[in-house]
Amino acid sequence: MQLLDNSAWVRLVQGAVPKDRRKEIAEWMGRHELGVCLPFLLEAGYSARSGTDRRELMARFDKLPRVSIDSTVERLALEAQRELAEVGHHRLPPLDVMIAACAHRAEAGVLHYDRDYDLILKHTGLEFESEWLAPAGSL
């Protein structure tokens, strides 16, 4: 399973992703191989254009598997932020750190278009698959 990050979702919605890759992601959604977690849902809700748009988005995401935040995810995220601070990367977006911690806890990956996830992998003890939506810099 891959957890969805807003950096990937926005590009998918905008149609910036090649058709074959969009089809592949749609198939993952259909097979429940693409999941969500609270940090992503908050970002997606924040990006909604209206109350109606938000309701439609959330109804769509309600059909996907969800990884919950528990005390273990909280501990993992705080530890990862500490590790990042020790190497000068503590300014990474907190929601990215939380999504990475959720992915680690669920033994999942993260579908993204964001170099932050590679930094999190490199500088913390979190383990997850970093699945780029498209090659970095290509969209």
At residue 18, the 3 state secondary structure works out as: coil
Per-residue tokens: 50: 């209206």
C-alpha separations of 32 from 3, 13, 105 in Å: 11, 19, 18
What is the C-alpha separation between 103 and 124, in angstroms, rounded? 13
Query: Tens of pLDDT along the chain (139 residues)?
Result: 999 999 999 999 999 999 999 999 999 999 999 999 999 999 999 989 999 999 999 999 999 999 999 999 999 999 999 999 999 998 999 999 999 999 999 999 999 999 999 999 999 999 999 999 999 999 9
The domain spans of the chain are 2-132
CATH topology (fold) of 2-132: Rossmann fold (3.40.50)
> Hey, what amino acid is at 17?
V
What is the C-alpha separation between 35 and 63, in angstroms, rounded? 9
pTM, two decimals, is: 0.94
What is the C-alpha separation between 85 and 68, in angstroms, rounded? 25
